[in-house]
Amino acid sequence: MPIDLKNFEARLLEEKARLFSQSEAAADARKAPQLDQQSVGRLSRQDALQQQAMANAQEQLRRRDLGRIERALVRIEAGGYGECLECGEEIAEARLEIDPMAELCRDCRR
């Protein structure tokens, strides 16, 4: 039985919208902290810099996933969604249910 491409496409588009929303909401956290060196202690500056670094790392992960989503949507459009990019075998539907962005089958993922 063929996989339900519309279902996977809808899930991918939902995730894409969610990631964009999170990215926009976290935009301020990624900006360089503006601290008054006279009124803010060293630990507060370190904390602000650490929070900025964590926000930037989370943004990198979102961008990675957005790229994976775009590639999955292209594969849906081209008719290759659900095929392993490494060996060409079918990716198990259960794997796609867990990760609709999956590009590799279980064996090639190892």
For the stretch 22-40, pLDDT in tens is: 988 877 766 766 655 555 5
Q: Is the pLDDT assigned to residue 79 strictly greater than 70? A: yes
Q: Which is more confident, 7 or 49? A: 7
The rounded distance, in Å, linking the Cα atoms of 94 and 106 is 11
Q: Are 73 and 12 in contact (CB under 8 A)?
A: yes
pLDDT value, residue 53: 87
pLDDT of residue 110: 77
Q: What is the pLDDT of residue 40?
A: 55
| More confident call, 90 vs 39 | 90
Q: Is the pTM above the cut of 0.75?
A: yes
pLDDT at 27: 78
Place of tokens 């392993």: 84
Q: Which residues pair with 90 in a beta bridge?
A: 83
